[in-house]
Amino acid sequence: MNNKSNLKIKLINRYRIKNDYYCFDFKKPINFNFIEGQYSIFGLIAKDIKGLNQRVFSIIVIKLKKNPNDIHAIRILVILKFLIYRIVSN
**DSSP letter, residue 71:** T
Q: pLDDT at residue 60 above 60?
A: no
Determine what percent of the chain is predicted with pLDDT higher than 70.
20
Looking at the domain assignment, is residue 2 inside a domain? no
Domain that holds residue 38: 10-89
Q: Mean of the pLDDT values across residues 11-20?
A: 74
Q: How many domains does the chain have?
A: 1
Looking at the domain assignment, is residue 3 inside a domain? no
Q: pLDDT at residue 10 above 60?
A: yes
CATH code for the domain of 65: 2.40.30
Q: Mean of the pLDDT values across residues 46-61?
A: 54
Phi then psi for residue 39, to 5 deg, are -115, 135
Question: What is the structure's pLDDT at 72?
Answer: 44
Q: Report d(CA 21, CA 19) in Å as an integer.
A: 6
